[in-house]
Amino acid sequence: MSLWKKAGKAGQSVDGKSFAGGRPHIDEVTPRAAIAGGEIAIQGHGFTANGNMRPVVRFGEQLGSLLVSSPSRLVVRVPEGVRSGDLTVDSGAAVSEPVSIAVGITLAESLHPVANPALDPAGNIYSTFSGSRGQKVAISVFKVGRDHVTHAFLQDLLNPTGMAFDRDGLLYISSRAEGTVYQVTPDGHRSIYAEGMGVATGIAFDAEENLYVGDRTGTIFKISRDRQIFVFATMEPSVAAYHLAFSPDGYLYVTGPTTSSFDHVFCISPAGAFTSFYRGLGRPQGLAFDVEGNLYVAASLAGRRGVVRLTPDAKPELMVSGYSIVGLAFTLHRSMILATNSSLIELFVDIEGRPLLQ
């Protein structure tokens, strides 16, 4: 069963019979996935014994940090070190039936991603150590293998930001300090693919393998396969970066946080006309589509930070709770790789991501 399903109805067991003995019952948990430090809301009844005892929430055997407590609603913070497992509420008199929760597993730390991670055809994960503007670091890009071992991949690339693979398995990386996009072979040899991209941040390929580059000062560039450069669209500058992703119908979706706490996700047609797909996210950053056309954005929704899912008709829902998430990518085995500002985390969500190139 998908982790996104709701818990049973109040007062009912799986077979429809009522629970007895004042046992706490969980009606709904939102969201059903989180990383350590994320906050989960629990709706139900009977959470406090005699109305005056503070309940205990456990993830397996580990105690969560209770932030809000009432007989029918709890908010709990996910502790460090928890793996996916069972959430229960202990009222002091009885313990609820468990509810399955997905919790992320840390794959790599001491990184500095500022956008989506990238996955090659073999399932290796690539992440930047981007650094502050103009900062030179020893290792610019790291590679995390399927065995979860982290290796140095690239050195001396100034402020690597956006990453994307083409069909031939070549990696493209933008440098926001240089305004350059580099092409990198699987063995780590790099060459300049395009220059003059301003403050080059997010990048993405369309179905014809034209490369799109977001200059966060207000331009989306289109680079054809023969490396001709066009201005594809212009938009409001971002205080951080543009992040790009193509939908199944060939439209380019763009986020770019501004000083507003009520930002847009923009949709740009193949002809370069853009509209607002959704407005109401706080600091929207990396984004990716699933095969059903749902869009997932690292952002906050109504003050709750994590990954927001936007349906094709722009209905929002917080799907993953967690702080400091800057990007995401789907794997071939229905998990999600989350990039925080210092780590890579894998979260098993039973969602099929849309291939970036088909």
My answer on whether 165 and 278 are in the same domain is yes
pLDDT at 275: 96
Residue 20 has pLDDT above 60, yes or no: no
My answer on whether 174 and 47 are in the same domain is no
- Domain-ending residue, one of 52, 77, 103: 103
My answer on whether 179 and 284 are in the same domain is yes
Q: Which range among 14-18, 166-170, 222-226, 354-358 shows the weakest confidence by mean pLDDT? A: 14-18
16 part of a folded domain: no
Beta bridge partners of 231: 221
231 part of a folded domain: yes
* Contact between residue 325 and residue 307 where contact means Cβ atoms under 8 Å apart: yes
Q: Which residue has the tokens 């050195």?
A: 155
Give CA–CA dist 155/201, Å, rounded.
19
Give CA–CA dist 105/84, Å, rounded.
8
Distance of CA 42 to the CA centre of its chain: 22
Residue 96 has pLDDT above 90, yes or no: yes
pLDDT at 7: 46
Tokens representing 103 are 């919790």
Q: Which residue has the tokens 């109504």?
A: 302
My answer on whether 115 and 255 are in the same domain is yes
- Of all residues in the chain, the percent with pLDDT exceeding 70 is 92
My answer on whether 81 and 144 are in the same domain is no
194 part of a folded domain: yes
* Contact between residue 299 and residue 282 where contact means Cβ atoms under 8 Å apart: yes
What does the mean pLDDT of the chain come to?
A: 92
Q: Which phi-psi region, left, alpha or beta, contains residue 244 (left: φ > 0; alpha: ψ -120 to 50)?
A: beta
Q: Which phi-psi region, left, alpha or beta, contains residue 70 (left: φ > 0; alpha: ψ -120 to 50)?
A: beta
233 part of a folded domain: yes
Q: Give the pLDDT mean for 60-71.
A: 94
In order of 4, 39, 176, 340, the CA distances from 66 in angstroms are 22, 9, 41, 24
128 part of a folded domain: yes
State the total domains in the chain. Answer: 2
- Domain-ending residue, one of 103, 124, 145: 103
My answer on whether 47 and 112 are in the same domain is no
Q: Looking at per-residue confidence, does 254 or 14 come out higher?
A: 254
- Domain-ending residue, one of 78, 103, 128: 103
37: containing domain: 25-103
15 part of a folded domain: no
Question: What confidence tens digit (pLDDT) does each residue in 257-267 have?
Answer: 998 889 999 99
